[in-house]
């Protein structure tokens, strides 16, 4: 193989890697996507729903990167898997609508979007949140 061919392949590899990295999801990117996620409203007070979201993340083995009860923003990280080799970045926005209603929005993006088939995090988290809220309503 001559030098020119090697240099050309190296340059092409750099371009491919740079394009993949340019499309990578960051926590800033998922936070900026607020308003573009999947939303659901729960007829429960804010503090109860916020706690249920934290429990749902824990049950789904998501890493809690940060949680800010004051702003209602929770950042989560999904682990790399066969379907999503880079893992996922997830932002959950918990919004107080009134004393007895709370909205939850989930924005999830794969770290490497071009080769990912990540889990449906909004659906998985909403299912866990509903389960957690139902458990709290059960008489003890």
Identify the structural domains of the chain with CATH numbers, from first to last: 24-137 (3.30.310.80)
Which has the closest alpha carbon to 118: 74, 87, 77, 76?
87
Contact 95, 102 (CB under 8 A): yes
pTM of the model: 0.79
pLDDT at site 82: 75
Say which residues have a Cβ less than 8 Å from residue 44's Cβ, sequence separation at least 6: 52, 100, 101, 102, 133
pLDDT at site 140: 57
For every one of its 140 residues, what pLDDT tens digit does the chain have, with 9 covering 90 and above?
555 556 555 544 443 444 344 446 788 999 999 999 999 999 999 999 999 999 999 999 999 999 999 999 999 999 887 777 888 999 999 999 999 999 999 999 988 877 768 889 999 999 999 999 998 876 65
Say which residues have a Cβ less than 8 Å from residue 113's Cβ, sequence separation at least 6: 23, 24, 25
pLDDT at site 18: 40
pLDDT at site 16: 41
pLDDT at site 20: 42
pLDDT at site 15: 38
pLDDT at site 2: 56
pLDDT at site 53: 97
């Amino acid at each position: 193989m001559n030098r020119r061919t090697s240099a050309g392949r190296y340059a092409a590899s750099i371009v491919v890697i740079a394009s993949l990295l340019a499309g990578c999801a960051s926590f800033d990117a998922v936070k900026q996507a607020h308003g573009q996620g999947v939303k659901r409203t729960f007829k429960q007070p804010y503090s109860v729903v916020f706690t249920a979201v934290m429990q749902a993340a824990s049950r789904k083995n998501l890493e809690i990167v940060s949680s800010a009860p004051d702003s209602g923003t929770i950042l989560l990280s999904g682990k790399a898997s066969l379907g999503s080799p880079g893992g996922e970045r997830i932002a959950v926005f918990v919004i107080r609508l009134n004393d007895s209603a709370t909205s939850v929005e989930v924005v999830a993006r794969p770290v490497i979007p071009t080769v990912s088939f990540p889990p449906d995090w909004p659906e998985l988290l909403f299912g866990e949140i509903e389960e957690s809220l139902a458990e709290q309503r059960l008489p003890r």
